[in-house]
Amino acid sequence: MTNALRLGIAGLGNVGVGVLDIVKKHGALLADRAGVPIKVTAVAARNKAKDRGHDLAGIKWHDDPVALAKSLDIDVFVELMGGEGDPAKSAVEAAIAAGKHVITANKALLAHHGTALARAAEAKGIALNFEASVAGGIPIIKALREGLIGNRVSKLFGIMNGTCNYILTKMANEGRNFTDVLKEAQNLGYAEADPTFDIGGFDTAHKLAIVASLAFGTEVNLNAIEIEGIEAITLDDIRNASDMGYKIKLLGVAIAHVEGIEQRVNPTLVPKGAPVSDTDGVFNAIVVKGDFVGDLMLEGRGAGAHPTASAVLSDVVDIARGNRRPAFGIPAAKLKPYKQSPKKAHEGGYYVALELIDRPGAVASIAQILAHEKISIESIVQRGRQGQETKRATATFILITHDTLETSIRTAIQQIEKNGHVASKPRVIRIERL
């Protein structure tokens, strides 16, 4: 082993420093596994004076990540800056144009530009690897691209955002409301000051777009994903779900139908004891259904400096070994144009929570609306009356529907909101058959 594989890292945040940590601690181990020494020869970041716990004196510094991407001092460009646009996009494009192998942990970049970047990389004969872009240290990309290569995948689903899973777990286990737990998550660094990207479901959607392309051999299509976050989930919803034998999880779901692909991100009632139901806290879990392997679940730390850096290093070693695989499992030119599945009856039905004003005709009115939309009820649970001392005493009704079209349930909810018998906005959550 004489020639080192030279890395240029753009972005020295937590993950970038995590890569430096692993290279420093496991340099000899990585060299044995890769067949050549792994060496960080250049970096780019915004603040050169910041103390990152590493001596960077022997490493070339670039203020401009695009200049780093073109540098003759590196063989592999490692993009850890994040963001769908520049400077990450320009830097990755520059690295590809310069014939440098690219490793990225940037889910947003791939969700928006993955197909085009894959085509460009394959045209230059270089690797575009992104194991760290989805689920941190969980090797879901490698599982889909290599381990399950002999299977046709029909469905994948999972918990892909640790922030949301932490919030829902704390609400369930400690009986605390959403706002309180979100504030705690922010204080602990699990949620950003502006948590919209996480709790709104957008982070999960970016990851789902990537793994769906790998699973089904289609072009990446973020715009096709229906997205619903967890902001409207209440403590009452979590308690009601638990009483009925469910947990609430934010799931990313992708299903291959004959007519096309279905992709969605939404809070879901998951039966206790089903796959992913016991994945709590900041952990992630993804289930893949293959026609020969059956159900495969991968669970672990979906974020964090060292788990994500570990995934980056797995891509580095692949490049060192000469493993060159198409970015999305098959040549980019053979990725099928994305075809969206038409609306289907949701297998599993819906949970509907209604605060009905306690007066004659309220329940009958709701039943009539549901019947008009051809929605049948599997079960009804009535909670105790509230506010009986006022003229607007209410009773909580929890409806569990049989399988029905989402368009039907949404139309019914709109009509229910207008008919004057509900005291607050109805809450609707899918029930997933896993």
DSSP codes of every residue in 17-48:
HHHHHHHHHSHHHHHHHHSS-EEEEEEE-S-T
Structure token pair of residue 402 = 């049989």
Last residue of a domain, which of 133, 155, 173? Answer: 133
Question: Coil, strand or helix: which one is 304?
Answer: coil
**Residue at 313 is within a domain:** no
Q: Are residue 162 and residue 261 in the same domain, yes or no?
A: yes
Active site residue 60: no
Mean pLDDT of the region 305-314? 96
Residues 99, 82 within the same domain: yes
Q: Note the pLDDT of residue 385.
A: 55
Tell whether 334 is covered by a domain. no
> Does residue 56 share a domain with residue 12?
yes
Active-site residue identified among 142, 155, 207, 249:
207
CB 14 within 8 A of CB 81: no
Residue 330 placed within a domain: no
pLDDT single digits (tens) 96-131 = 999 999 999 999 999 999 999 999 999 999 999 999
Burial class (CB in 10 A: 0-12, 13-18, 19+), 184: middle
* Two tokens, residue 176: 């605390």
Closest CA relative to residue 207, chosen from 194, 216, 196, 220:
220
Distance (Å, whole) CA 220 – CA 206: 10
58 and 155 together in one domain: no
198 within 8 A of 186, measured Cβ to Cβ: no
Domain co-membership, 412 together with 361: yes
Give the separation between CA 141 and CA 125, rounded to whole angstroms: 20
Question: What's the rounded Cα separation, in Å, for the pair 70 and 36?
Answer: 22
- Least confident span in 261-275, 280-294, 298-312, 345-359: 345-359
Look at residue 390 in the predicted model and tell me its pLDDT.
Answer: 46
Are residues 162 and 278 located together in one domain of the fold?
A: yes
**pLDDT-based confidence at residue 228 (cuts at 50, 70, 90):** very high
Domain co-membership, 124 together with 174: no
Q: Does 197 share its domain with 285?
A: yes
In a domain, 164, yes or no: yes
16-28 exposure pattern, b = at least 16 Cβ within 10 A, e = fewer? bbbbbbbbeeeee
* 388 and 244 share one domain: no
Are both 199 and 239 inside the same structural domain?
Answer: yes
- Same domain for 52 and 89, yes or no, is yes
Statement: residue 391 has pLDDT above 70? no
- At 76, which CATH number? 3.40.50.720
Ordered DSSP codes for 181-213 = HHHHHHHTTSS-SSTHHHHTSHHHHHHHHHHHH
Q: Are residues 160 and 291 in the same domain?
A: yes
Domain enclosing residue 36, as ranges: 5-133
Q: Does residue 30 belong to any structural domain of this protein? A: yes
